[in-house]
Amino acid sequence: MKELVTVIVPILEPQINPTEEKLLHHALEILADYPIIFVAGEGADLSVVREHAEQFDVVHFPKRFFESRQHLGQLLLMADFYDRFNWCDFLLIHELNSWVVRDELHYWCKQGYDYIKAGSVLPQPGTAPGMLKRLAGLSEDEKRLYGAGYADNGLYLCRIERMTATLKGKRSVAHQYRHNASLLNADSVFWDLEANRFLPHLRKPTDIVRSHFAQFGVQYQNAALPFALTGISRDNIHEIPYFKTLPETE
């Protein structure tokens, strides 16, 4: 019988910073009831992980995919990545720029969605492309603007079977996105704009529903807390009101 969900934590090089280490420690605590697997480049130094976990599992991929977030995005657009974890139904990809507020992971796995992630933060709210624009396709400049809105947005829940089927069905488009060096966060743009273009490959929630799944920390305004906050970095963590309410030990 398959596992329901596994948490995947990518470790980029060089060494993680203190804010990322804080997010790592919290993830290991709040998601302790689920299998947690680190993904890293071959030969990566994981001593910082050992400071927070006596035993942990690692899956290695070619080192080039961990040189930057741009390179990681290429890996996340490969069916082989998801196939490596096909002994479970779902993956929670948890990059070290996100914070799970409370453990609702089982609940979200049971909601019938194939892909859930906070949307792109655009310079002007309400300017997200509509259905006709999505069908027609965005220009390269529009894609770059859209991709920039996914900065530090590294938390999503996905159904492995549907992710691999989508990538295999859209092999040439995924290849173009993987090799578009000018497009930041190409993986997020692909899943948002291309996966369901023309035909619905993935069941995705409405904007309202996904706001209950994850929100950008800097935009959270004391409403009902979502499952997770994302968009967290060492440059803004001290400006996010949520973290000002936490005990000093967090």
Residue 174 tokens, joined: 């995924």
Residue pair 89/41 in contact (Cβ under 8 Å)? The answer is: no
Strand (E) or helix (H) holding 5: strand 3-10
Residue 99 tokens, joined: 């914070």
Residue pair 203/195 in contact (Cβ under 8 Å)? The answer is: no
Residue 114 tokens, joined: 């194939």
Residue pair 120/146 in contact (Cβ under 8 Å)? The answer is: yes
What was the pLDDT predicted at 137? 79
Give the start-end residues of each E strand in 19-160.
Answer: 36-41, 57-61, 88-94, 99-100, 115-117, 155-159
Taking only the tens place, the pLDDT of each residue in 126-165 is 556 766 666 667 888 999 999 999 999 999 999 999 999 9
CATH superfamily of 3-244: Spore Coat Polysaccharide Biosynthesis Protein SpsA; Chain A (3.90.550.10)
What was the pLDDT predicted at 9? 98
From CA 149, how far away is CA 139, in angstroms rounded? Answer: 16
Residue 22 tokens, joined: 């804080």
Residue pair 63/42 in contact (Cβ under 8 Å)? The answer is: yes
Residue with tokens 């799970």: 100
CA distances (Å), origin 62, targets 37, 38, 42, 43, 164: 16, 14, 6, 9, 19
Strand (E) or helix (H) holding 65: none
| Cα dihedral 157, 159, 164, 165 sign | negative
Q: How many CB atoms lie within 10 A of CB 206?
A: 7
- Least confidently predicted of 38-47, 56-65, 113-122, 134-143: 134-143
What was the pLDDT predicted at 124? 64
Taking only the tens place, the pLDDT of each residue in 28-53 is 999 999 999 999 999 998 998 999 98
What was the pLDDT predicted at 127? 59
Q: What letter does residue 159 receive in the DSSP assignment?
A: E
